[in-house]
Amino acid sequence: MTKVPMARPSSRRAFLKGGLAGAAAVAASAGAARAGGETVITEVQDWARYPGDGVDARPYGRPSPFEAHVVRKNVPWLTSDTISSVNFTPLHELDGIITPNGLCFERHHAGIAELDPAAYRLMVHGLVEKPLVFTLADLKRFPRENRIYFLECAANSGMEWRGAQLNGCQFTHGMVHCVMYTGVRLRHILEEAGVRPDGKWLLAEGADASAMTRSIPMEKALDDCMVAFAMNGEALRPEQGYPARLVVPGWEGNMWVKWLRRLEVGDQPWHHREETSKYTDLLASGKARRFTWVMDVKSVITSPSPQAPIRHGKGRMVLTGLAWSGNGRIERVDVSLDGGRNWKTARIDGPSLPMALHRFYYEFDWDGSDLYLQSRAIDEKGLVQPTKDQLRAARGPNSIYHNNGIQTWHVDKEGVVENVEIS
C-alpha cells in the first residue's frame, strides 16, 4: 500500500496539533516532487489496478468514506434531551446553494415522527365552505411546482447575542438549509375547501407528539406557501416531515410545520406556545415583539471558518460563503479582510433566486498576515445586513431570535480561524 503524503486532518483539534508538521510536509513534498515524484503518481494505486464494487453494491449511494466527517452535529449542553433539540448543517463543508437531504439541520420538539404515508391525512376545516380530508395521493393530484427556498430557524445564531460563543459556522449559522421542494400550492388546497370571507388566519398543525402549531396570516397562505412532499427530487426525509410539510418561503423555519396534518381557517390568530413563549423577541425595554415572521438579510463566510482553517499557507486562496434574505433575492455581497475598514464586492455564482441561498466567492492572494474576515449582504429591497453591535443597540442582548449580524472570523498567521468580536 502506498501512503498519501499529506493526510487530511479530520478535526480542528487534529489540525491544531498537526498544523506545523503539516506545513513542513507541504514544503517537503514540493521538494521531493522535483527529485523522484509523488508516489501517488509514480506508483500504480490499488484503485487503478483492482476493480471496485459493482452496481447494486450501494443501491442507495452514500458519500465517500473520506467524507464521513461531514455530518450534522448538535451541541449537547444546549438542551436536556435530543428528543426536543436541534443539530446543525455542516455549512463549512458544503458548496453551491443546495443542501444535501441528509445534511439539512434537524429541529424536533418530540423526536422524528415515523408516519405511514398510507395513514397520512390532511384536514382542512374551520371557516371554510366544506371541511375536507386529503390523502397523500389526493395532494399529488393538484398541479405541482418546484421551488428552491432556504429554511432558517429564527434562533439561528441565537447563541451569539452576548458575544462570540461557538467556534464554527456549523454551530453559529448551521440552522439553515436550502433545497428544491416539489409540492402544490397551499392556495389550491384552501380554495378546494372554499375559504370564507372572514377567514383571515390559518392554523397549521403537525402530526408528531408535539402537535406543533403556528398561526399564519391568510395573505401569506394564499400567496406563495406550498405543501411539499419532495425535496431535491426524492420524498421528504422523515426528519423534514415525511410525507408532507408546509413551505412558508422567507419566513422563520418554525412555521414550516412538518408532518402537516391539519389546517384550520379562523378569524384571529391563536397565540399558541410557539408564537408567545417562543419565537417572540424580548427587547431591552421589557416589551417583546411577536409575529416577527420574515428572516432578515444575512450572510456568513463558510470557508475559511473555524472548522475550515487555511491549510495551504500563503498565496492564492478562495474565500466563499452564503447569503440569503426573506425579502427576496440577494443583490450584492461585500467582503472585508480587515474587520470592516474596507470592503470589496464578492462574486455571486450560481442561480440567484428569491428567498434561496446565494453562493459567493472572493479570490485573493493571502500574504500570511492576520485577517479579520466579514461579509455583508444587501438584498433586493436595499436592506443591508447590520452589525451585531447595531442589533444589540436596538434590541439588547436577550432577543434570542433573528440575529442576522455580521460575523467576524479571525485568521491568524498559521491559518487557524476563530470566532471573535472586534472593535
Partner 1 sequence: MSKYPEVLVAAALGLLAATSSAGAQDAAAGEKVFARCKACHAVGEGAANRVGPHLNGVVGRAAGAIEGYKYSPAMTEKAGEGLVWDEPSLTRYLENPRGFLKGTKMAFAGLKKPQEIADIIAYLATFAEDGSQKAAQADPAGDDGGRDAAGAAETDTAEAAGEAEEEPSQAGADAAPRADEPTASSVASGSDGLKFGLGREATDDEVAAWDIDIRPDGKGLPEGRGTVGEGMIVYDQQCASCHGDFGEAIGRWPVLAGGQGTLRDERPEKTIGSYWPYLSTVYDYVRRAMPFGDARSLSDDEVYALTAYLLYLNDIVGDEEFELSRENFTSIDLPNEQNFIDDDRASEAHYADRSEPCMSDCKEGAPEITMHAAVLDVTPEDSDEKESRGGGID
Footprint of ligand HEC on residues 270-289 (CB under 6 A)?
273, 277
Buried (b) or exposed (e) across 37-51, using 16+ Cβ within 10 A?
eeeeeeeeeeeeeee
Bridge pairing between strands 144-152 and 132-134: unpaired
**The 344-345 sheet, strands edge to edge:** 344-345, 330-336, 371-379, 408-411
Residues between 346 and 405 with contacts to partner 1, criterion CB under 8 A: 372, 376, 378, 382-384, 386-387, 390-391, 393-395, 397-402
What residue 352 binds from partner 1, ligand HEC, none (CB within 5 to 8 A, per partner kind)?
none
Q: Which does 306 bind (CB under 5 to 8 A by kind): partner 1, ligand HEC, none?
A: partner 1
Residue 183: strand pairing partners: 145, 228
Using rule CB under 8 A, residue 279 touches partner 1: yes
* CB-CB neighbours of 229 under 10 Å: 23
Three-state DSSP at 94 gives coil
The whole-angstrom separation of Cα 227 and Cα 245 is 6
Site size toward ligand HEC (CB under 6 A) is 5
Nearer to ligand HEC among residue 211 and residue 317 (C-beta): 211
- Residue from 26, 38, 84, 96 touching ligand HEC (CB under 6 A): that is 84
Answer for which of 52, 54, 277, 365 binds partner 1 (CB under 8 A) is 277
Binding mask 16-55 for partner 1 (x = CB under 8 A): ----------------------------------------
Asked whether the beta carbons of 416 and 366 are under 8 A apart, the reply is no
Interface map 245-274 toward ligand HEC (x if CB under 6 A): ----------------------------x-
Burial bucket for residue 24 (CB in 10 Å: 0-12, 13-18, 19+) = exposed
Decide if residue 120 touches partner 1 (CB under 8 A): yes
137 is a contact residue toward partner 1 (CB under 8 A)? yes
How many of the other CB atoms lie within 10 Å of CB of 386? 19
Residue 182: count other Cβ atoms within 10 Å of its Cβ: 20
Sequence-distant (6+) residues with CB within 8 A of 137 are none
109 is a contact residue toward ligand HEC (CB under 6 A): yes
Number of residues that bind partner 1 (CB under 8 A): 125
Q: Which of 144, 213, 317, 380 binds partner 1 (CB under 8 A)?
A: 213
Which position among 145, 338, 380, 414 is part of the footprint of partner 1 (CB under 8 A)? 338
Residue from the set 7, 21, 284, 318 that interacts with partner 1 by CB under 8 A? 284
Q: Which does 159 bind (CB under 5 to 8 A by kind): partner 1, ligand HEC, none?
A: partner 1
Compare residues 134 and 279 and give the one whose CB is closer to ligand HEC: 279
The closest alpha carbon to 373, from 418, 414, 332, belongs to 418
Does the footprint of ligand HEC cover residue 108 (CB under 6 A)?
no
**Cβ neighbour number for residue 317 with a 10 Å cutoff:** 16
By CB under 6 A, what part of segment 310-329 binds ligand HEC?
none
Contacted entry of ligand HEC, partner 1, none for residue 232, CB cut-off 5 to 8 Å set by kind: none
List Cβ neighbours of 146 (8 Å cut-off, separation of 6 or more): 180, 181, 182
User: Which of left, alpha, beta for 34 (phi over 0: left; psi -120 to 50: alpha)?
Assistant: alpha
Q: Rounded distance, CA 173 to CA 326, Å? A: 16
**SS3 of residue 135 by DSSP:** coil
Q: Give the x/- contact pattern for ligand HEC in 208-227, rule: CB under 6 A.
A: --x-----------------
Considering the complex, state which of residue 274 and residue 334 has its C-beta at the smaller distance from ligand HEC: 274
Binding partner 1 (rule: CB under 8 A), the pick from 119, 146, 223, 364 is 119
* Interaction residues for partner 1, span 142-171 (CB under 8 A): 142, 153-155, 158-168, 171
- CA 123 – CA 109 distance, rounded (Å): 22
- Cis amide linkage into residue 243, ω under 30° from 0: yes
Compute the CA torsion angle 189, 192, 195, 201 (nearest 10 deg).
Answer: -10
C-alpha cell at 356: 434561496
Comparing CB distances to ligand HEC, the nearer of 280 and 336 is 280
Task: Find the shortest distance in angstroms from Cβ 280 to ligand HEC.
Answer: 11
Residue 415 binding partner 1, by CB under 8 A: no
Per CB under 6 A, residues contacting ligand HEC are 84, 109, 210, 273, 277
